[in-house]
Amino acid sequence: MCLARLGAEGNIQSFFSDGRLHSSGIVDMLDWNRLIDERMKISDLLVVPNLQTGQLEPLLSRFTEEEERQMKRMLQRLDVLAKHAVENGVRLMVDAEQTYFQPAISRLTVEMKRSFNRDKAVVFNTYQCYLKEAFDNVSMDVELSRREGWCFAAKLVRGAYMYQERSRAAEIGYEDPINPDYESTNRMYHRCLDYVLEEIQRNKKVNVMVASHNLDTVKHTLRRMNEMGLQPTDKKVCFGQLLGMCDQISFPLAQAGFPVYKYVPYGPVNEVIPYLSRRAQENRGFMKGVQMERELLWKELMRRLSSGQILYTPPV
């Protein structure tokens, strides 16, 4: 009733009784099945309370019929993908974009988790750890999964839109959402990772992909897993690197029994090249890693030449 004393009017109780608390602290009134229902208008569901009038008002007042159809088709395609992932026993990882797109992406991903992550981790959300709010986003979604009983699943990345984010923040005049330096981003990544590993220790249905080319991060993950008694064979922690990058990290991890995935960028050249250039910006030690890999390959070649074992035959 505090809201009523502040001047809010209307059926305020329904804001809380009909909805669920979302990670941002707002009342969540969406449901995945309603979102993909052809009979339901998206604009009717995307409503927010007006604190002055106490009434629910449309978030998008100018949603055209074509925009409504496009949104509905997009949601239905997501539903098909998630069902296909469940049927084939694979994971569906939703990537992250700029902060001015990401809330909508994360919002829909949470709805998908509610529907498809009931028994095991199928849908993964991506958390960009170069953001100042990264830990808050991770911890709030973990708490939401605890309250609602679905399986939390995350892909942790550092982030790839630093220059765009800072340029836009300076242009429009809001606070820079990016951590001030690379070291603080590393600390944020490890903080988020530690939190999720602790959640895995508490709930074996939680999953995380450590999507990183950073050797220190991989070592940190292995050390923390060893301290917590988390085994590679549990397959709750997996690693991801781009195909052709950091094989000196990927192969030893796979040989040690960890699930390792190699990302293959696929698409038109004009879209793939900018993607790869952002990965290079994200990984400042990229050339150093290439040099290390080159040295390791040279040592292995010399070892094989000196031992007379040119072709390697793995043990059966």
Instruction: Give the model's pLDDT for residue 186.
Output: 94
Hey, what are 32's tokens? 């995945």
> Does pLDDT of 48 surpass 60?
no
The answer to which of 12-21, 138-147, 250-259, 272-281 has the lowest mean pLDDT is 12-21
Residue 289: other Cβ atoms inside 10 A: 18
Helix (H, G, I), strand (E, B) or coil at 56: strand
The residue ranking higher by pLDDT, 51 or 99, is 99
Average pLDDT estimate for 243-250: 83
Average pLDDT estimate for 101-116: 88
Share of the chain above pLDDT 90, in %: 46
> Does pLDDT of 137 surpass 80?
yes
Share of the chain above pLDDT 70, in %: 72
The residue ranking higher by pLDDT, 223 or 7, is 223
- Parallel/antiparallel/unpaired status of strands 56-58 and 47-49: antiparallel
Instruction: Give the model's pLDDT for residue 230.
Output: 95
Confidence of residue 315 (pLDDT cuts 50, 70, 90): low
Confidence of residue 132 (pLDDT cuts 50, 70, 90): very high
Instruction: Give the model's pLDDT for residue 198.
Output: 97
The answer to which of 7-16, 131-140, 221-230, 248-257 has the lowest mean pLDDT is 7-16
**pLDDT single digits (tens) 212-227:** 988 899 999 999 999 9
* Whole-prediction pTM: 0.75
> Does pLDDT of 258 surpass 80?
yes
> Does pLDDT of 236 surpass 90?
yes
Per-residue HEC secondary structure of the chain comes to: CHHHHCCCCCCHHHHHHCCEECCCCCEECCCHHHHCCCCCCHHHHCEEECCCCCCEEECCCCCCHHHHHHHHHHHHHHHHHHHHHHHHCCCEEECCCCCCCHHHHHHHHHHHHHHHCCCCCCEEEEEECCECCHHHHHHHHHHHHHHHCCCCEEEEECCCCHHHHHHHHHHHCCCCCECCCHHHHHHHHHHHHHHHHHHHHHCCCCEEEEECCCHHHHHHHHHHHHHHCCCHHHCCEEEEEECCCCHHHHHHHHHCCCCEEEECCCCCHHHHHHHHHHHHHHCCCHHHHHHHHHHHHHHHHHHHHHHCCCCCCCCC
Distance CA 272, CA 264 (A): 10
**pLDDT single digits (tens) 148-178:** 999 999 999 998 888 889 999 999 999 999 9
Distance CA 243, CA 37 (A): 39
Distance CA 277, CA 265 (A): 12
Confidence of residue 24 (pLDDT cuts 50, 70, 90): very low
Confidence of residue 23 (pLDDT cuts 50, 70, 90): very low
The residue ranking higher by pLDDT, 203 or 63, is 203
> Does pLDDT of 14 surpass 60?
no
Distance CA 126, CA 263 (A): 15
Instruction: Give the model's pLDDT for residue 4.
Output: 60
Instruction: Give the model's pLDDT for residue 31.
Output: 60
